[in-house]
Amino acid sequence: MATYREMHEIGSDPGRVRNLALSLLKLAETAKNVFNEWELTFLRDRVEQADATLALSCKERQQLKDSIRLAEARLALRDFRLTTLQAEKLLDIRDAAILHRDFKGISVRNLINKCYLARTELGEDDEQFIERLYKSGVEQLRRNDLARLKRCSVQLGQLEDYM
C-alpha cells in the first residue's frame, strides 16, 4: 500500500503521473485482463490531464489565469495536482499489476501444485481456476489472482488462516 508521502509526491508531479499511467497502459496492451474498463479510462484521463498541464508554458498559464473561459482558468490556477483519492487509486492500480513469485516465503508454483492435488474439495469455479493455473505452468501471479490462490490454499488446509 502506498504511503501518504508517496501519494503526495506523485500527485503533484505531472511528469511522473504521465509516465506511470503510460507504462500501465502499455502493460494493458501486452497482457490481457490486467485492468478493467474503469481503470483503463482512469489511466487515459490521467495521461490527458498531465499532457495538458505539461504543454502549458509559464506565459500561457498566466494568460489562461485571466481567461474568460472558466475551465481554462481553473486549469491554469490549479497547475497540476491529483486529489489524494486519485493518487491513491493510481498507485493501487500500479500495485495490482506487480507480479509476485512467492507468498510469505512459499513459492506460488508450490502452492498451485499443492492445491491442484486437492482441487476436488473446492467449488467448481475455484477448481477450474486451480486447474487453469496448473496447466499454464505460471510461477508468478498478480495480486488479485494471488489472493484467490491464498483463499483456496487456506480452504484446503495448505496455509493457515493467519497467513
With vertex at residue 51, the alpha carbon angle to CA 22 and CA 17, rounded to the nearest 5 degrees, is 45
Mean pLDDT for the stretch of residues 141-160? 86
What share of the chain has pLDDT > 70, as a percent?
Answer: 82
Q: Which amino acid is at 71?
A: A
pLDDT attached to residue 79? 56
The model's confidence at residue 109, banded by pLDDT at 50, 70 and 90, is very high
Q: How far apart are CA 76 and CA 34, in angstroms?
A: 34
Residue 74 has pLDDT above 60, yes or no: no
Q: What local confidence, expressed as pLDDT, does residue 7 receive?
A: 87
The C-alpha cell that represents 110 in the structure block: 508450490
**pLDDT-derived band of residue 104, with 50, 70 and 90 as boundaries?**
confident
**Averaged pLDDT score across all residues of the chain:** 82
pLDDT at 140 over 70: yes
Residue type, 30: T
| CA pair distance 134, 108, nearest whole angstrom | 11
